[in-house]
Amino acid sequence: MATTRKEFFPDGAHFPTANFPAQVVLASGGNRLTLAYDAAVDETAYWSMIAPQGVTGALSLKVHYCMASATTGAVYFQAQVEAITPADATDLDAGTSFDTANSGNGTVPATAGYEQVISITLTAKDNWTDGDLIRIALSRDADNASDTATGDALFLAAELQEA
């Protein structure tokens, strides 16, 4: 049985200096907070955590989203992992060290506003070790040929799951 290792929400995100999803409140949805990933520009948001103890299984990121307007097509998300072990030769003040991108895509719901989940298997996880300082970068690869849905993809939450 899969185990939930961490949950990520819009209000816990931090952002690069450019090309990041705007925080959008769905007023008619009870002021639900989302991150609006653009359909034309690749945008990224980050979440930080400490790698939990005892992770031995495969990891995946379950991305919960809905579409602002699209009722057809697919969205293509990418997740990158940065794992910093204490005493690593990584200058956190000078750059990043994300592993290569893991990707997942899925067909959007036929009704805008309906929730859907895309699963991204984190095959490339930067030699993740218990206790590492972790960042997850989640992007919409808007110019990917598999990202065919128009309009914003509204990020609702993500679950880090161990198989």
Q: Round to whole Å and give the CA distance between 95 and 18.
A: 15
DSSP string of 84-100? E-TT-S--TTT-----P
Question: Shortest Cβ distance from residue 1 to another protein (Å)?
Answer: 37
Question: Shortest Cβ distance from residue 127 to another protein (Å)?
Answer: 36
**Sole binder of another protein in the list 99, 126, 152, 162 (CB under 8 A):** 152
- Is 68 a binding residue for another protein by CB under 8 A? The answer is yes
CA 128 to each of CA 66, 91, 92, 138, 146: distance values in angstroms, whole numbers, following the listed order: 30, 18, 17, 17, 29
Question: Shortest Cβ distance from residue 111 to another protein (Å)?
Answer: 8
Residue number, 99 or 147, with CB nearest to another protein: 147
**Sole binder of another protein in the list 19, 69, 96, 127 (CB under 8 A):** 69
Q: Round to whole Å and give the CA distance between 75 and 115.
A: 13
Q: Which stretch binds another protein (CB under 8 A): 39-47, 57-65, 85-93, 122-130?
A: 39-47
Question: Shortest Cβ distance from residue 71 to another protein (Å)?
Answer: 5
- Neighbouring-strand partners of residue 14: 46
Q: Round to whole Å and give the CA distance between 76 and 63.
A: 11
Binding site residues, another protein, CB under 8 A: 36, 38-41, 68-73, 112-113, 147-152
